[in-house]
Amino acid sequence: MAEDDGSDVTAPASRAEAPSSEHVRERARELERAGQPYARVTVVRREPPVSANVGDSAIVTSDGELVGWVGGAECAESVAVREARAAIESGESTLIGLAPDPADVERTGLKAFPMTCHSGGTLELFVEPVVPGPELVVVGDSPVARAVARLGGDVFSGVTVVADADGDREDVLAGDTVPVSDTAGVAQTVVGATYVVVASMGEYDELGVATGLRAGAEYVGLVASDRRRDEVATAVAEQLDADPDDVVGAVTTPAGFDINARSPEEIAVSVLAELVALRRDADDPIRIETRDATDGPWRDAPAAERVDSGDSVPVDATVVDPVCGMDVTVDGETPTVEHGGETYRFCGQGCADAFAAEPDRYVGEGTASATERSEEATDG
């Protein structure tokens, strides 16, 4: 490696010593998981005699490490490293050419350099900076979203929360926060993210799912019941001009492994466990089993508990949100809605508003109250 590239890393002296393409891809994945920028350098044109072929590629880190093969140190590596580091800093791609006489390749849109290899030859290299976005984007400011963001900060390289957080809510949310109202900012945030977890409890589920799918995230998970999933899929399909079944197939619902989780923190653990398994599956042939979405906290709303409006529900009691089907641990800030002489409790304000708008949609004749179900259990 030439001294002027600023790197202490020894690059391969020949193609035979260069790492495999799989090794190059793995190094790129490591950098992305660590949230570190790098540049891809690809041979797009050659004229012999040169040792690189069209399609050969390497990655260059911000500190000048080159992994791969784009030609020898005397011929191309020093220029490739220098221009790659400049591209990382500027964030702009560039096309460079090397020839014994730079004027032979010089043209608009290409930066020409002399080929210093004694054998001559011509190379053109495309240099593309890769600046990873946050590894995990959490959409929502529900208790589950906050728990995923908070715990995820210890597992993933970068966590960004998309939420309309204000006041003391900002102190609860972990990671960087992008307002939902900043549409461009949300789209830019999700681009480059590996995992998108939507846990807004009805407030902006559609925004999170649609943005995640548009950005091509490796994983888009929705914390919701099957019924809510179908509603979101229908709305998102209209936005993306797609088939609702395709949306359902592209989104993991309910997000997380089935570990019989109840509290927001337990649900967050189940979601993060699934993401870790997916991340490791990139290297190991691990199979992730599909669980029965009717089990645990993911059961459909007809099984939701109801508490008579005159009854007192103790703090830390657990009820089921009739909209999304999630278990809700009751506290002094639990959203409630009165309907038909009953008090319904919700995981978040989004579910409460959805219920208040169409209560009959979520209340069926077969839904037993907490008192009725307790009496049935006692009689049994």
Q: What is the pLDDT of residue 223?
A: 93
Q: What pLDDT does 43 receive? A: 92
Residue 166: what pLDDT?
Answer: 57
> Using CA atoms, how far apart are residues 68 and 59, in angstroms rounded to an integer?
6
Residue 17 is predicted with a pLDDT of 73
Q: Rounded to whole angstroms, how far apart are CA atoms 338 and 154?
A: 40
Q: Hey, which residues does 308 pair with through a beta bridge? A: 342
d(CA 261, CA 267): 5
What CA–CA distance (Å, rounded) separates 216 from 163?
20
DSSP summary character for residue 137: E
- What residues contact residue 195 under an 8 Å CB cut-off, 6+ apart? 135, 136, 137, 156, 217, 218, 219, 221, 275, 278
Q: What is the pLDDT of residue 197?
A: 95
Task: Give the position of tokens 């001009």.
Answer: 241
Q: Tell me how far CA of residue 70 lies from CA of 19, 99, 133, 224, 308, in angstroms.
A: 12, 14, 27, 48, 72
Q: Coil, strand or helix: which one is 112?
A: strand
What integer pLDDT is reported at residue 263 of this predicted model?
86
* Mean pLDDT by groups of 10 residues along the chain of 380 residues: 44 69 85 82 88 89 90 80 92 91 90 83 90 82 90 84 64 63 76 86 89 88 90 91 90 89 89 88 44 31 34 63 74 82 80 81 50 34
Gap between the Cα atoms of 267 and 68, Å rounded: 41
**Residues in contact with 283: Cβ distance below 8 Å, sequence separation at least 6, in sequence order:** 26
